[in-house]
Amino acid sequence: MKASIKYLLTGSIVAIAVIAVLLKYWDYVINPWTRDGQVRAEIIQITPRVSGPITNLTVNDNQFVKAGDLLFEIDPRTYNVALFQAQAQYDKSIDNYHALEQQVEAAHAQVAVSQANVLQSSSSIKEIDSQIEKDKAEYDRQLELIPQRATSQKSVDRAKANYGVSMEQRQGALAKLQQSKASLAQSQASLAVAKANLGEAGDKNASIRTAKAALEQAQLNLEFTRVVAPVDGYITNLSLQIGSQAVVNQPFMALIDSNSFWVHGFFKETSISEMKKGNPSLITLMTYPDSPIEGVVDSIGWGVSQQDGSTGYELLPNVSPTFDWIRLAQRIPVRIHITKIPENIKLRVGTTASVLVYTQKQTQSSQ
């Protein structure tokens, strides 16, 4: 009897153990879990936009900064000088523009004078033509009267002289008209040159826009000597000193965006078939093993790098040896959005995490 009870208890314990193992395995199958996880965040490379020695360093390594806080300053003296020069050039461009405007106005006035001279010359020719007609008629009349002895030779000579004078006056008026037209053409050409030198009016003027752009660039360069934090975050791996030379477009400092932390879980390809965006997840950091973090699946990677087939020595393909009876599953990155962080936890980029995903659940926001 005692032996039967002993076998029954042993069998029960074994059955419970088997059931527990099966349940655990089933839980593992439907709720994938990986120890291959890592904390990530957006890392901003602080890059100066102007060059020069650092004259003021306001942060320390691993310090928390807020968006807009001053990080460091570059010697502004060179850029102050450049700003003064750009301002002077802008002022000079304005003065030149006004001078060219006056030249255009003067050219307009000269064109008006030349046009008036042309009109006056044309009017004079008309008056002279009228006088010529009268003088010719008088001369013809005198010629008709001379055979009749109704006039004197002196009157004929006087009429002829008057007619000749009128013709000479007409030649002079024609020459003056040509001169007035030539002066008008020259005035119009001078006006065209003055307008071309002036360019567009007001703010559309090319020389003013060029000078204004140079002035704005100089102002920006002076502002760029003060480098501020673009986001809230942590300065890390700081190795700057006052006097260090900042080089334009060369990364100078790392800033970890404190509002961008997420976790990458690298799951076996056999574990992601039922995984979907919105599945709740549980994150456990190696730093804080007793303080789990709540998260949700944000996205699942669509590819990983392949070593086989890549170009190797002498342009030959790299092919790794494999065992036909062993097939290693690839690891697929799954991005986990952190929804709730316990107060005692300080997230740090690169730290290790374990990730559990509940594939049978879905957050309300993703449904």
- DSSP letters, 77-145, are HHHHHHHHHHHHHHHHHHHHHHHHHHHHHHHHHHHHHHHHHHHHHHHHHHHHHHHHHHHHHHHHHHHHH
**Is-contact 226 70, C-beta < 8 A?**
yes
Q: Which two tokens stand for residue 203?
A: 């703010």
DSSP class of residue 317?
B
Residue 353: predicted pLDDT: 96
Model's pTM, two decimal places? 0.70
Element (H, E) at 210: helix 206-224
Instruction: Compute CA distances 341 → 284, 291, 322, whole Å.
Output: 11, 9, 42
Instruction: Compute CA distances 116 → 119, 130, 172, 184, 237, whole Å.
Output: 5, 21, 18, 9, 81
Instruction: Compute CA distances 69 → 123, 147, 246, whole Å.
Output: 80, 117, 19
Q: Which two tokens stand for residue 277?
A: 């965006």
Order across the sheet with 43-46: list the strands.
43-46, 253-257, 233-236, 64-65
52: helix, coil or strand? strand
CA atoms of 146 and 355, how far apart (whole Å)? 136
Domains of the chain, each with CATH number or no CATH: 32-41+259-366 (2.40.30.170), 48-75+225-250 (2.40.50.100), 79-219 (1.10.287.620)
CA-nearest of 214, 191, 205 to 98 is 205
- End-to-end Cα distance, the chain: 59
**Is-contact 308 320, C-beta < 8 A?**
yes
Judging by beta carbons within 10 Å of its beta carbon (0-12, 13-18, 19+), is residue 80 exposed, middle or buried?
Answer: middle
DSSP 145-182: HTTTTSS-HHHHHHHHHHHHHHHHHHHHHHHHHHHHHH
> If you search the block for the tokens 């567009």, which residue do you land on?
200
CA atoms of 128 and 226, how far apart (whole Å)? 81
Determine how many CB atoms are found less than 10 A away from the CB of residue 49. Answer: 14
> If you search the block for the tokens 């000078």, which residue do you land on?
211
**Is-contact 74 50, C-beta < 8 A?**
yes
Determine how many CB atoms are found less than 10 A away from the CB of residue 170. Answer: 17
Rounded-to-10 torsion of CA 94, 99, 105, 107: -130
Tens-digit pLDDT string for the chain (367 aa): 556 666 566 666 665 665 555 545 555 556 899 999 999 999 999 999 999 999 999 999 999 999 999 999 999 999 999 999 999 999 999 999 888 888 888 888 888 888 888 888 788 878 877 877 887 777 677 677 777 776 677 776 787 777 777 778 778 877 887 888 888 788 888 878 888 887 787 778 888 899 999 999 999 999 999 999 999 999 998 888 899 999 999 998 999 999 999 999 999 998 888 899 999 999 999 999 999 999 999 999 998 887 766 777 777 787 777 666 667 788 999 999 999 888 899 999 999 999 999 988 666 555 4
Residue 126 phi/psi, 5-degree rounding, is -65, -45
Residue 99: predicted pLDDT: 87
Q: What b/e readout covers 185-208, taking b as 16+ CB neighbours within 10 angstroms?
A: eebeebbeebeeebeeeeeebebb
Residue 286: predicted pLDDT: 94
